[in-house]
Amino acid sequence: MAVSRDRESDLCVVGLGPAGRALAHRALCAGLSVTAIDPRPDRLWPPTYSCWLDELPAWLPATAIATTIPAPTIWTTVRRRIDRPYCVLSKHGLRDALPVDGAVVVEGRAAQLTAHQVTLTDGRVFDATAVLDTRGLPGPGRRRAASAHGVFVDEGNAAPMIAGNEGLLLDWRPENGAGPTEPPSFLYAVPIGDGTVIFEETSLGLRGGMPQHELRKRLLTRLTAHGIQLTGTEPCEAAHYPLDQPPPPKGGAGPIAFGSRGGAMHPCTGYSVADSLALVDTAVGALQRGRDPIIDMWSLPARAVYWMRMRGLYGLGRLTTEQSAAMFDAFFASSPRGQRALLSARDDYAGLGAVLFDTVAHTWPFRWRYDLVGWTNRNRWLNYEIDPATTSEPRP
């Protein structure tokens, strides 16, 4: 195959998901030349993205937000309201807020990436001062994963559980039909601003994740318990990705990993978009100064926070449904700083260490704390086999 070499640019961004598009957009705003490569550069992103409102950078316009939930609900052993606004991002609004009109946008799939060069599967080669790998993560295999199955339900039909600008971030009530000896999952449900509510059964921390058919079965059982009847024609959404992608080392010889591929995936929540958006100016500023952006994005405190969050992921991945509810009950009874240290803050290692200790200390019964820290049942679900899918799907 003949090889063609295209012009050099300051940055070559490989992958135009939210992280890559934001990076390309802000680099263009800073006056850098950008080549952006993606197999489907004009595709609207499939997932529904959400975050805490205060996590978004000031430069992002309000048009990127589809709906805001002033005080979302948490169900553990009791019902709690979290006094912190939460938002669902608009797919169209977010993409339109990140124009890349000044970039050279290339439709193609990268075959090989180096620090200064990208080779596509069709043989084209693109040179750049810096190559940034912003592609999503590959399938988790046996890594600790987040898995979710979502169904979009008309707001009127969803009213028994979600009405108006309400949102349900965690629902650990035992209503999904899973027994006490089965790996746990919880419900996430928020309005997405188009007249529908997404109900999403979610599993966090299992090695290899939980299969879609099991999550759907649990979701339909849960909705039935609240009198929500589906037609079977509702659109669906699936998620399945690893949670344990570490921060890249500084001074690496290859391309610069950014976004979920660069450690922005929160090990305990599975969120990465808000953190990626908040870090793009840090990365662009470092590149403008000729610095390694990994150094600026991943300080020692930030790496310590990531390490502690991984301890939380290990704990979460070995709990039962009852234990998970008790643990989250203890966590959401902590101070606002403690909650933010786990959920959002990138470098508050003191606050995170304190809330992790406090959560373990206030999880009851006392013996469950041994599971949480891994002294007992360290690999509870390691070789658990989920029942295979059946030919008949349960309907509410």
Q: What does the pLDDT read at residue 91?
A: 95
Q: What does the pLDDT read at residue 165?
A: 87
Nearest in space to 81 (alpha carbons), one of 332, 361, 386: 332
pLDDT band at 390 (very low <50, low <70, confident <90, very high): confident
Beta strands, E only, 46-185: 50-52, 65-69, 73-75, 79-81, 86-89, 104-107, 110-113, 117-120, 125-133, 144-154, 168-171
pLDDT in tens, 19-37: 999 999 999 999 999 999 9
pTM: 0.93
Q: Cβ(11)–Cβ(287) under 8 Å? A: yes
pLDDT in tens, 237-267: 999 999 999 999 998 889 999 999 999 999 9
Report CA 141 to chain centroid distance, whole Å. 17
- pLDDT over 90 (residue 1): no
CA dist 67 and 277 (Å) reads 18
Q: What does the pLDDT read at residue 196?
A: 96
Nearest in space to 279 (alpha carbons), one of 41, 39, 56: 56
Q: Cβ(200)–Cβ(134) under 8 Å? A: no
Q: Which two tokens stand for residue 136?
A: 């999503």
CA dist 35 and 24 (Å) reads 8
User: Can you spell out the DSSP letters for 33-78?
Assistant: -EEEEESSTTPPP-SPPEEEGGGS-TTS-GGGEEEEESS-EEESSS
pLDDT band at 396 (very low <50, low <70, confident <90, very high): very low
Q: What does the pLDDT read at residue 57?
A: 97
Q: What does the pLDDT read at residue 393?
A: 53
pLDDT in tens, 305-330: 999 999 999 999 999 999 999 999 99
pLDDT band at 7 (very low <50, low <70, confident <90, very high): low
Calculated CA dihedral for residues 165, 48, 335, 367, nearest 10 degrees: 120
What is the rounded average pLDDT for all residues in the chain? Answer: 94
Cα angle 83-86-155, degrees, rounded to a multiple of 5: 110
> Considering only 43-52, 119-128, 152-161, 386-395, which range has the smallest mean pLDDT?
386-395
Q: Which two tokens stand for residue 294?
A: 């990994």
